[in-house]
Amino acid sequence: MKKTMIGLCGVLFILGIVGCSQTKETPSVDGEKLIRELWLNIKNNNWDVLENKIAYVFQSIHEDGTRDRDEEIELLKGLNLGEYTLDNFKTTQNKNVVIVSYIVSVHEMIDGTVLPTAFAQRLSVFQKSDNDWKWIAHANLNPMNK
């Protein structure tokens, strides 16, 4: 009986090691870090870095409509981004896709329209490409002053 228990424990131990060594988990991504880097690059006019991080299939939506990659880059370059506060991050991930929702209070202007500085919801989506995360979608839920 004792030999059977020792043998059974040994088999379970080996199966546990084999099972753990074959499990491949996707490392979790710090969504807040991705967003903070994005905003810092916009604030500091790091356009080469930023353009390299925006996927060619990028799409955004703002109150005034949708934008593709080139239109969003043009908008970002014209923002004259002021001080901002980012908060309330929530990140979800499925393999190579990360979705980050957050709130932001920012002094900004879009297409000549000054936006309210109250906290507003934002949502960004990133996808793993080679060894880097690419920004593929963004929703700006800050209402524009009319």
pLDDT at residue number 82: 83
Instruction: Tell me if 13 is assigned to some domain.
Output: no
64 and 95 in contact (C-beta within 8 Å)?
no
Instruction: Tell me if 38 is assigned to some domain.
Output: yes
Please give the mean pLDDT across all residues of the chain.
Answer: 81
CA 119 – CA 133 distance, rounded (Å)? 26
Q: Which is more confidently placed, 4 or 52? A: 52
What is this structure's pTM? Answer: 0.76
Structural domain that includes position 135? 30-140
Q: Residue 112 — very low, low, confident or very high, per pLDDT cuts 50/70/90?
A: confident
Instruction: Tell me if 114 is assigned to some domain.
Output: yes
Instruction: Tell me if 136 is assigned to some domain.
Output: yes
Q: Residue 73 — very low, low, confident or very high, per pLDDT cuts 50/70/90?
A: very high
3-state DSSP assignment of residue 49: helix
Instruction: Tell me if 2 is assigned to some domain.
Output: no
pLDDT at residue number 80: 79
Q: Please state whether 130 falls in left (phi above 0), alpha (psi between -120 and 50) or beta.
A: left
Instruction: Tell me if 81 is assigned to some domain.
Output: yes
Instruction: Tell me if 80 is assigned to some domain.
Output: yes
Q: Residue 110: give its domain's CATH number.
A: 3.10.450.50
Whether the predicted pLDDT of 90 surpasses 80: yes
- Residues 113, 69, 48: CA angle, nearest 5 degrees: 95
How many domains would you assign to the chain? Answer: 1
Q: Please state whether 113 falls in left (phi above 0), alpha (psi between -120 and 50) or beta.
A: beta
Q: Mean per-residue pLDDT for 12-40?
A: 63
